[in-house]
Amino acid sequence: MHLMEGAECENEDDQDTKECKRLFKNMKFFLSREVPRESLLFVIPAFGGVVSWDGEAAPYKEADQSISHQIVDRPTQGHRYLSREYVQPQWIYDCINARIILPTEAYMVGRIPPPHLSPFVDNDAEGYIPDYAETIKRLQAAARNEVLPMPGVGKEDLDDPQNLLVEGYISRTEANEAAQTKKKMVTLEKQYHEELQSELQGAVMKKSKKGSAEHAKTSEESVPDPKQIAEDIDTMSKLGMSRKKRGLLEAIEKGKERNTARISKLKERKKKLKSSEN
């Protein structure tokens, strides 16, 4: 009985194996004469697909209307069936490596396919991530209904726009605009803390009504206009932005909303102090 239980455990597939076996589920393939038949006859059924070929003992013929994909490795394809897609062999292997069904547009007959990415290379360790690897990563996240952060945008980039300038993602003008906007926000936040500290110490309560009104008016005038900050951000958004710049813009907008809320809170407290003095 122990031997049988051990055999049952070995036969149970893990989640990754189950997903692999379902990769080409409900797909029906046909191999043209020029493709590497032995390799494809092995991998397609292993990942859940059904496959046939042009030759003896073939399960079904090329004219079968239920074929979903025909694997072709030639510059052109003469006769075409509208009910199926014609793709190059690399599409099969790239789908297997990515564990998802990739779009077929880049692998159609006559096109130069994307660079083949080895599954045995750690791009992060190598220090270089190919563009197509980023595309596949996004497609994988979409297949899992995940939302990825903006690639290449770190906290240090959002804290200092000059980092983006050094890396060549934004121009000097854009970096200066971003730095000025950030400076306004820092000043606004600092002023808020100073005003709040003054209120807690009772400085406002010791002043006369007139002095309080003048102080409130001066404070309101010295606070940077949130509309001006919004205009600065809109100006940045109109310029051509890369992925890092979009992340920077999002961070600025969040800071603006946070500081606007703090200004509103400060004004409400001043109104309460005025009413208590009256």
Whether 55 has a pLDDT exceeding 90, the answer reads: no
The model's pTM: 0.48
Own/partner contacts of 180-183, CB < 8 Å, gap of 24 or more, are: 180/232, 181/229, 181/232, 181/233, 181/236, 181/252, 182/252, 182/255
- Residue 219 pLDDT more than 60? no
Between 77 and 42, the higher pLDDT residue = 42
Question: Between 73 and 206, whose confidence is greater?
Answer: 73
> Can you tell me the distance from the alpha carbon of 116 to that of 57, in angstroms, rounded to the nearest whole number?
32
Which residues does 163 contact at the CB level (< 8 Å), separation at least 6? 156, 157
Specify the higher pLDDT residue, 61 or 165: 61
Of 245, 125, 112, 118, the C-alpha closest to 173 is 245
Q: Is the pLDDT of residue 155 over 50?
A: no
The whole-chain average pLDDT of the chain stands at: 75
The 10s digit of each residue's pLDDT in 71-104 is 999 988 888 999 999 999 999 999 999 999 999 9
